[in-house]
Amino acid sequence: MNNLQKTLLKLKKEKRKAISVFLTAGYPNIKTTEKLILQIEKYANIIELGIPFSDPIADGPTIQYSSQKALENKINLEKCLSIVKNIRRKTSIPIVLMGYFNPVFNYDLKKFFYASMKAGVDGIIIPDIPYEESLQITKLAKKYNIAFIPIVALTSGINRAVKISKTSTGFIYVTAITGITGARSELSKELIPFLKLLKNKTNKHLLVGFGISKPEHLKELKNYCDGFIIGSAIINKIKNKESVTNFLKYLTKTL
């Protein structure tokens, strides 16, 4: 059992909701990314570190922007792993890498998982890998003790969602909206019924992301999931040079 899995079990036992915060690695620069992780760990339980990619199909304008700026700063997969390695000297907070398949494949799958393990990565999300093609990834993740985190969309349908959930060795990333990432004022009306159904059919941890940006979202959903992933709203704060920690305190006040 790795650090992410232990953290999720501990939070569930204590009846607390997991807070996972997304940062784009190297945005606005490596130093700031590392500084933010250390600041955020007081208010979050998990860090999701995005690997910049030129064609992030699941991401909206906010994360696309941060990814492009990171690429302009010459951030690559090797440097993302270096960030994790550097941070591991200062904190044990679980770190999940979120990366599209192309950079991971080009790096070499075995090399990627081995290097991730050595750096101190606890989990992996690859949003453009369909369930039918995930076997090699899940095998390597298991071999190197890295939790595999699948994404379940509202459009998946409950039967497919249950199949996908069986591949999870960390948590299940449930999208709160249909479409791409981005802070939203309203979440899908289909979300709570979907979460109720899925929660009855799996004992895996359900974390909700895509669009989570207001305390009202957490208050509305906290009885139907195990935690939340906050991404675009955080990137907006960084972009506008506003306090990320103050925002997290405000956002989580209803928990």
How far is 112 from 103, CA to CA, in rounded Å? Answer: 10
How far is 175 from 152, CA to CA, in rounded Å? Answer: 6
Pick the catalytic residue: 34, 48, 122, 226?
A: 48
Q: By C-alpha distance, which of 204, 25, 242, 196 is closest to 251?
A: 242
CA distances to 19, 55, 72, 166, 255 from 24, rounded to whole Å, are 17, 14, 13, 28, 26
- Residue 227 in 3-state DSSP? strand
How far is 121 from 97, CA to CA, in rounded Å? Answer: 7
Can the peptide bond before residue 215 be classed as cis, meaning omega within 30 degrees of 0? no
State yes or no: is 48 an active-site residue. yes
Give Cα 148 to chain centroid, integer Å. Answer: 11
Pick the catalytic residue: 34, 59, 122, 226?
A: 59
The single-letter DSSP state of residue 211 is S
Burial class (CB in 10 A: 0-12, 13-18, 19+), 203: exposed
Q: By C-alpha distance, which of 29, 45, 39, 44 is closest to 83?
A: 29
How far is 38 from 89, CA to CA, in rounded Å? Answer: 11
Q: Catalytic site residues? A: 48, 59
